[in-house]
């Protein structure tokens, strides 16, 4: 066997192998464009929301922050809780390692309003189908910054100054977004 025939055999084997790999890679759901453009479900984030927003929040009359335990599943999250007295409610500011589109695309979240905050896409959503929360989500790479305000539907035990409707909770989300917008970070990592 001469050198030329060995080279051609190697070229043929490499060519067939490449075609086989390409063929296998194209198998699947059939929606190659979706597979290539799939958004990751989690991303790394490290910004501490307590350190980033305490000054603005306490200046606006909220209590000193309550650092909540970091979460790693189903996505990374660092959050900080604040309380307000009049009206009475608790709020959380969370740095989420979940892409913005995935957050606002949640089936349990009904978008009430799209906003632009300091040039960033933002959304205020109603999560009352699964929990008594209004959520304001801001698209900050590589994840999402989220403000959460809860409410308690009125009953015989409800405090007179408590938030009792989703509309009240979402109005407070808007106030908090206004408070923190001047100090929004460039990135969450």
- State pLDDT tens for residues 62-104: 998 999 999 998 999 999 999 999 898 999 999 999 999 999 9
Confidence of residue 3 (pLDDT cuts 50, 70, 90): very low
Is 101 in the same domain as 168? yes
What is the C-alpha separation between 179 and 45, in angstroms, rounded?
22
Number of domains in the chain: 2
DSSP 162: B
Q: Which of 66, 94, 101 is nearest to 176 (CA)?
A: 94
Domain membership flag for residue 189? no
Residues 18 and 53 in one domain: no
Residues 30 and 53 in one domain: no
9-25 residue pLDDT tens: 333 333 333 332 233 23
Shared domain for 25 and 68, answered yes or no, is: no
Residue 41 lies in a domain: no
Residues 32 and 53 in one domain: no
Indicate whether 158 belongs to any domain: yes
Q: What is the pLDDT of residue 41?
A: 80
Kindly state the tokens that stand for 171: 């109005």
- 133 domain-assigned: yes
Q: Tell me: do 133 and 165 sit in the same domain.
A: yes
Same domain, 66 and 104: yes
85 and 19 both lie in a single domain: no
Question: In this predicted model, which residue has the larger pLDDT, 160 or 186?
Answer: 186
My answer on whether 145 and 56 are in the same domain is: yes
Would residue 188 count as lying in a domain?
no
> Do both 138 and 117 map to the same domain?
yes
Q: What value does the mean pLDDT take over residues 146-155?
A: 95
141 or 36: which carries more pLDDT confidence? 141
13 and 77 fall within a common domain? no
Q: Which of 29 and 121 is assigned the larger pLDDT? A: 121
CB atoms within 10 A of CB 108: 12
How many degrees, rounded to 5, is the angle at CA 152 between CA 66 and CA 57? 35
**Which residues form the domain of 103?**
49-183
Q: Does residue 17 form part of some domain? A: yes
């Amino acid at each position: 066997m001469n050198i030329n025939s060995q080279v051609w055999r190697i070229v043929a084997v490499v060519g067939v192998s490449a075609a086989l790999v390409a063929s296998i890679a194209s198998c699947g759901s059939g929606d190659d464009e979706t597979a290539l453009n799939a958004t990751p479900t989690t991303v790394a984030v490290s910004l501490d929301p307590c350190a980033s927003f305490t000054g603005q929040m306490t200046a606006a009359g909220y209590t000193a922050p309550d650092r909540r335990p970091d979460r790693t599943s189903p996505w990374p999250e660092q959050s900080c809780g604040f309380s307000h007295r009049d009206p009475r409610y608790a709020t959380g500011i969370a740095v989420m390692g979940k892409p913005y589109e995935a957050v606002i695309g949640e089936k349990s979240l009904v978008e009430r309003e799209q906003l632009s905050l300091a040039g960033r896409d933002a959304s205020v959503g109603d999560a009352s189908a699964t929990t008594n929360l209004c959520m304001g989500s801001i698209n900050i790479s590589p994840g999402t910054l989220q403000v959460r305000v809860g409410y308690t539907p009125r009953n015989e035990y409800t405090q007179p100054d408590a938030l009792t409707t989703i509309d009240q909770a979402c109005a407070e989300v808007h106030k908090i977004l206004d408070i923190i917008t001047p100090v929004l970070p460039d990135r969450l990592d």
